[in-house]
């Protein structure tokens, strides 16, 4: 089951980062929806694993391939979905996951039949230009550093809170972990799409098991609050440094959301 979980983890990331890389808003939105379904599959597979007295981890072996066109990304996704089918359990959960995957494959085939949708991918071109706004290099550098740091942080938090949520019997803890997972999904989506716009889309580094196996919840929360406080400082500095009203307002918005994350974590303490 751990191998199945690993394969599903990798497929979630492949669908998610395909949604970031593709510019077409309709395809992007549909793929993001499918990535959320894949994440629920991970949750259910994890629960099933624990119920059977086994365990899972967040090891992964995938690379984010830098494709040049929409169809290259979608063809690679089809292959990845086909390859995982034999790993699913032969039960009701496995059947649910397989039918979800079948529908995704049907959607990918529909898109691949429309040659007009095969546009170029710019998410990996390393141009580091923000739309047509000609931001100064120091502002681009600050934005780049922030996005790499924060995209990893949000990926890390999604997995840590999901790991802890699967193991708690406390309803309040469960609900707070769910809120924090949902919020981090939104932040990762925002930062991933921004990285793609800059042409610097990249996969967050893998988590070491000592990151998500939490033995002292109080200390974890204290450290987590400090990390959120640091993220707030980075957001404020970036908002002040970037002389673009739209971007500045966005980072103020993220900053205010971090305030509430801190309060949620304080309730756990």
**CATH classification for the domain delimited by 123-269, as one of 3.50.50.60, 3.40.1030.10, 1.20.1250.20, 1.20.1260.10:** 1.20.1260.10
Has residue 227 got a pLDDT over 80? Answer: yes
Alpha-carbon gap, residue 184 to 85, rounded angstroms: 28
String of DSSP letters for 10-70 = HHHHHHHHHHHH---HHHHHHHHHHHHHHHHHHHHHHHHHHHTT--------------SBH
CATH placement of domain 1-121: 1.20.1260.10
Instruction: Compute CA 174 distance to the chain's CA centroid, rounded to the nearest angstrom.
Output: 20
Residues of the chain with CATH 1.20.1260.10: 1-121, 123-269
Q: pLDDT tens, 38-74?
A: 999 999 999 999 999 999 999 999 999 899 999 999 9
Q: 4: buried, middle or exposed (CB in 10 Å: 19+, 13-18, 0-12)?
A: buried
pTM as predicted: 0.95
| Dihedral sign of CA atoms 36, 37, 42, 47 in order | positive
Instruction: Give the pLDDT band of residue 9 (cuts 50, 70, 90).
Output: very high
Per-residue pLDDT tens digits for 146-194: 999 999 999 999 999 999 999 999 999 999 999 999 999 999 999 999 9
Which pair of structure tokens corresponds to residue 70? 């929409």
């Amino acid at each position: 089951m751990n191998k199945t979980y690993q394969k599903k983890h990798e497929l979630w990331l492949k669908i998610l980062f395909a949604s970031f890389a593709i510019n077409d808003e309709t395809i992007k939105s549909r793929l993001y929806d499918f990535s959320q379904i894949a994440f629920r599959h991970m949750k259910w597979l994890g629960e099933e694993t624990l119920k059977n007295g086994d365990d899972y981890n967040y090891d992964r072996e995938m690379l984010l391939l830098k494709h040049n066109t929409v169809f290259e990304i979608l063809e690679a996704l089809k292959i990845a979905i086909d390859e995982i089918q034999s790993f699913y359990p032969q039960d009701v959960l496995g059947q649910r996951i397989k039918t979800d995957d079948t529908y995704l494959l049907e959607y990918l085939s529909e898109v691949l039949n429309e040659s007009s949708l095969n546009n170029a991918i710019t998410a990996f071109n390393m141009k580091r230009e923000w739309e047509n706004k000609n931001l100064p290099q120091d502002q681009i550098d600050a934005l780049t550093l922030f996005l790499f740091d924060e995209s990893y942080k949000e990926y890390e938090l999604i997995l840590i809170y999901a790991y802890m949520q699967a193991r708690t019997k406390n309803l309040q803890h469960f609900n707070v972990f769910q809120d924090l997972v949902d919020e981090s999904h939104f932040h990762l989506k925002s930062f991933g799409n921004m990285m793609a716009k800059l042409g610097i889309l990249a996969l967050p580094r893998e988590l070491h098991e000592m990151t998500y196996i939490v033995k002292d919840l109080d200390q974890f929360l204290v450290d987590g609050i400090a990390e959120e406080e640091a993220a707030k400082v980075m957001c404020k500095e970036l908002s002040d440094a970037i002389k673009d009203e739209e971007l500045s307002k966005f980072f103020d918005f993220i900053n205010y959301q971090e305030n509430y994350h801190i309060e949620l974590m304080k309730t756990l303490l």
